[in-house]
Amino acid sequence: MIDIADLAARAYAPLLTIALVTGLAQAALSRDLVKRLLGAAIAAIAASAGLAALTRSDATLVGGATAASLVMLGGVALGLALLVRVREGFGGVDAGGLRLAEDADDRAERGE
């Protein structure tokens, strides 16, 4: 019979590593800002979980792991709020389209 607890205890490191790497890759490479935020959030969750797992032997670090999770949640909330404002301001969240719109704003600012 499979011992789920034992499996989880042995599998958390590769799982968290995969989540961290795929999340970061998504945050860096995706053209869609929603996917970028999702990727960054997944990476942050994986890192917070990894921190909690690797420091679980030291009870004094529980507060630190909790604070890391709270900062991550704050960052995701701020990102969501900004995403809404980007969509309102530009009418979309595609990175390529945003770059073109920003270039047009830059040119208008320089009077070209």
Partner 1 sequence: MNTLEFLWRHADAWLLFGPLVVGVVLTAAPAGRIANAIAATIACGVAALSVALVARLLGGATLASVDPLGAGAVAVGAVVAAAAGTAALALAPRDFPRRTRAIALGLGLVLIGAALGAMLERDLLRMVLLLQTATLAGAALTGLTLEQDRRAATAAFGAVIVALGAGAVALSGVALLHAASGASLDITQIAARIAAPGGASGAWLGAALLISALAAFAGLAPLHAGVASSASRVAPAFAPLVAILLRMAGFIALVRVFGATQAFAAAELAQAFAYGVAALGAVSLLAGGLQAIGATDARRLASHALTAQFGCALIGLAAGGDDGLIASLFVAAAGAMTALALIVGAAAARADGGASPMTTLDGLGQSHPFVAAAITISALGMTGAPLTASFLGKWLSIEAALARGWFWAAAAIVASSFAAVFVAGQIVERLYFRNRALAFKVAPRTAYALAPALAVAVLATVLFGWNATAPLDAARMAASARTGPAAP
Residues forming contacts to partner 1 in the complex (CB under 8 A) are 20, 23-24, 27-28, 33, 36-37, 40-41, 43-44, 46-48, 50-51, 53-55, 58, 60-61, 64, 67-68, 71-72, 74-76, 78-79, 81-83, 85-86, 89-90, 98, 102, 105-106, 109-111
Phi/psi zone of residue 32: left (φ > 0), alpha (ψ -120 to 50 degrees), beta?
beta
Report the amino acid identity of residue 38.
Answer: L
Task: Give, to the nearest 10 degrees, the angle between helix 62-90 and helix 95-109.
Answer: 60
Computed over its alpha carbons, how large is the radius of gyration of the chain?
19
State which residue, 6 or 57, has the beta carbon closest to partner 1.
57
State which residue, 8 or 102, has the beta carbon closest to partner 1.
102
Backbone angles phi, psi at 94, to 5 degrees: -85, 125
Angle, alpha carbons 105-87-19 (nearest 5°) = 115
To partner 1, the closest distance from the beta carbon of 89 in angstroms equals: 4
To partner 1, the closest distance from the beta carbon of 1 in angstroms equals: 30
To partner 1, the closest distance from the beta carbon of 5 in angstroms equals: 20
To partner 1, the closest distance from the beta carbon of 14 in angstroms equals: 13
